Amino acid sequence: MLKVLGLFIVTALAEIIGCYLPYLWLKQGRSAWLLVPAALSLAAFAWLLTLHPQAAGRVYAAYGGVYISVALMWLWAVDSVRPTITDWIGVSVCLLGMGIIMFGARQA
């Protein structure tokens, strides 16, 4: 279970970095060369999704909860914006949904 959670976190970081670098280029006038590591990061993101042991649709659905959690941490660590109580409540609801999707009963 910890391995899957760690894989979800690394996957989310790859996606966030792959989207954040073009943001820096487009919104903050940084170098267009940031698009190269952004593309590599998004390619790594797609590859990392293939490493999950569950069916692809289930992984994508459950991954959303972890992505939201990591994005909130990114908001705090990188953008220096402290999450609000409603942010934490929202993340909790998302993680509960993720747990239901990933660990709920399965049809045979």
Domain ranges of the chain: 2-103
- pLDDT score of 108: 55
pTM of the entire predicted model: 0.79
- pLDDT score of 40: 98
Distance CA 108, CA 101 (A): 16
Percent of the chain with pLDDT over 70: 93
Q: Which of 13, 28, 20, 18 shows the shortest CA–CA distance to 67?
A: 13
Average confidence (pLDDT) over 1-17: 87
Give the model confidence (pLDDT) of 29-48 as tens digits: 999 999 999 999 999 999 99
Average confidence (pLDDT) over 40-66: 84
